[in-house]
Amino acid sequence: MLDRILDAATDNLRFAKILVQMGLDPNNVTWDAIFNRLLELFLHNITLANMFALIGAIFFVATLLTHTMVPLRVANMIGCAFFAIFGALTGAVTTFLLYFLMIPINAYRLRQMLALVKTARTATQGDMSMEWLKPFMTDRKYRKGDILMRKGDAANEMLLTVTGKFRVVEINVELPPGRLMGELGFLTPDNRRTATIECIEDGRVLTISYEKLLEIYFQNPQFGYYFLVLTSQRLLENLARAEAIIAQNKIAAQPPLAN
């Protein structure tokens, strides 16, 4: 059967031209001859530069198979390093510069991701610091009397207080520096504000859009757990505050004891 396939293929003019270009005789073609010729071509073209390019290509293919950012960045850095060496050995300056410059860029992004992973893991130990998120946020200033957000408005960003004082109007609670605002709107189905916040003392906040939060989440799903802990803490605080108000109202509603 294989011999018949070879005979039919050699009758094809285009295939015959390919065989001639490979250095094979179209009138006398066998599987052993094809294999030996391909092996000969492969060994003939094996050079140190090509070996580096081959290894680099393998790591670039690996980046397409990874599902998380940290291993993707590592594989990409290794692939860029091998391709940069390939460019240096072959004298291709543009290839060398392209892949050489991609190495520190990937290293910087990898460092950001590792810092994010480390901070996210500390959430299980009760560390509610938001310092790790500040590099992704932008600065904004407010004056006394400004309304940062109103209950029911469309929500598209989260805020972190840095200086000044802010008040949740509905429950008359002050928010000191270091507190999140607007994070619950990120979780509501229609992305609506759940409270009105007023600036009662000139201050500065840091903001981050919900789109950026989603980007961080998809780059590192562990951030989702960290954010869940933060929002859960806020919900528990609100629940405790509501229970205290209900308890106070029950006490106030009790009739006075008769003498």
> pLDDT tens-digit profile of 140-164?
999 999 999 998 899 889 898 999 9
Distance between CA atoms of 111 and 84, rounded to whole angstroms? 21
Q: Are residues 56 and 115 part of one domain?
A: yes
Last residue of a domain, one of 78, 101, 122: 122
Out of 79, 99, 122, a domain closes at: 122
CB 122 within 8 A of CB 223: no
Please check whether residue 256 lies inside any domain of the structure.
no
| Torsion, CA 236, CA 240, CA 246, CA 249, rounded to 10 | -150
Is residue 157 classed as helix, strand or coil in its secondary structure?
A: strand
Residue 233 forms part of a structural domain: yes
Q: Kindly state whether residues 146 and 229 are assigned to the same domain.
A: yes
* Residues pairing with 174 in the sheet: 167
Q: Are residues 78 and 146 in the same domain?
A: no
The residue among 61 and 135 whose pLDDT is bigger is 61
Give domain status of residue 19, yes or no: yes
Between CA 177 and CA 154 the distance in angstroms is: 24
Q: Which secondary structure element, helix H or strand E, spans residue 234, and what is its range?
A: helix 222-253
In this structure, are 86 and 138 located in the same domain? no
Give the CATH number for residue 212. 2.60.120.10
Same domain, 145 and 219: yes
| pLDDT at 128 > cutoff 80 | no
Domain co-membership, 27 together with 53: no
Domain count, the chain: 3
Q: Which pairing describes strands 180-181 and 147-149: parallel, antiparallel, or unpaired?
A: unpaired
Q: Which of 70, 66, 67 is nearest to 112 (CA)?
A: 70
3-state secondary structure of 217: helix
Per the confidence metrics, is the pTM higher than 0.75?
no
Mean pLDDT check: name the lowest of 46-55, 73-82, 102-111, 112-121: 112-121
Ordered DSSP codes for 129-154: --GGGGGG-EEEEE-TT-EEE-TTSB
Residue 218 structure tokens:
């998809």
> Residue 223: how many CA atoms within 13 Å on its side-chain side?
20
What's the CA gap between 252 and 53, in Å, rounded?
Answer: 79
> What domain range includes position 55?
48-122
Which DSSP state fits 182?
A: S
Q: Do 112 and 148 lie in a common domain?
A: no
Q: Would 258 be classed as within a structural domain?
A: no
Same structural domain, 155 and 235: yes
CA angle 6, 10, 11 (to 5 degrees): 120
- Tens of pLDDT along 22-45? 666 666 667 777 777 777 776 676
State how far the Cα of 43 lies from the Cα of 178, in Å rounded to an integer: 64
> Do 170 and 113 fall within a single domain?
no
**Looking at the structure, do residues 98 and 66 belong to the same domain, yes or no?**
yes
How confident is the model over 215-226, as pLDDT tens digits? 877 776 666 766
Which pLDDT does position 213 carry in this prediction?
A: 82
Greater confidence (76 vs 18) lies with: 76
Of the chain, the percentage scoring pLDDT greater than 90 comes to: 24
Residue 253 lies in a domain: no
Per-residue confidence (pLDDT) for residue 203, from 0 to 100: 92
DSSP output for 33-97: HHHHHHHHHHHHT--HHHHHHHHHHHHHHHHHH--SHHHHHHHHHHHHHHHHHHHHHHT-HHHHH
Residue 197 pLDDT grade (very low, low, confident, very high; cuts 50, 70, 90): very high
Bigger pLDDT: 217 vs 257: 217
At 102, is the pLDDT very low, low, confident or very high (cuts 50, 70, 90)? Answer: very high
| 254: in domain | no
Residue 257 lies in a domain: no
Pair (59, 33) in one structural domain: no
Residues 218 and 149 in one domain: yes
Q: What is the mean pLDDT of the chain?
A: 80
For the ranges 46-60, 171-185, 245-259, the lowest mean pLDDT is seen at 245-259
